[in-house]
């Protein structure tokens, strides 16, 4: 793994920020889809 260096906070922070933001967006989409999916029968969904 990476050695200790002066800018580790910014570099690791940028990766953590990216993972956090895309993770939040992914979770929101799946959760929203799950909630909406409860209200519509599967046989009406074109992807099922």
Interface residues with another protein (CB under 8 A) are: 1-2, 5, 7-8, 10-15, 17-19, 21-22, 25-26, 29-30, 32-42, 44-48
Helix, strand, coil shares of the chain, percent, nearest 5, are 70, 0, 30
Minimum distance of another protein from residue 23's CB (angstroms): 10
Neighbouring residues of 8: CB distance < 8 A, sequence distance ≥ 6: 2
Q: Which two tokens stand for residue 15?
A: 């990766």
**Smallest distance from the beta carbon of 26 to another protein, in angstroms?**
7
| Least distance CB 36 / another protein (angstroms) | 4
């Amino acid at each position: 793994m990476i050695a200790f260096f002066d800018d580790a906070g910014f570099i690791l922070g940028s990766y953590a920020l990216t993972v956090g933001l895309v993770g939040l967006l992914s979770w929101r989409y799946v959760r929203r889809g799950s909630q909406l999916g409860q209200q519509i029968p599967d046989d009406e969904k074109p992807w099922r």
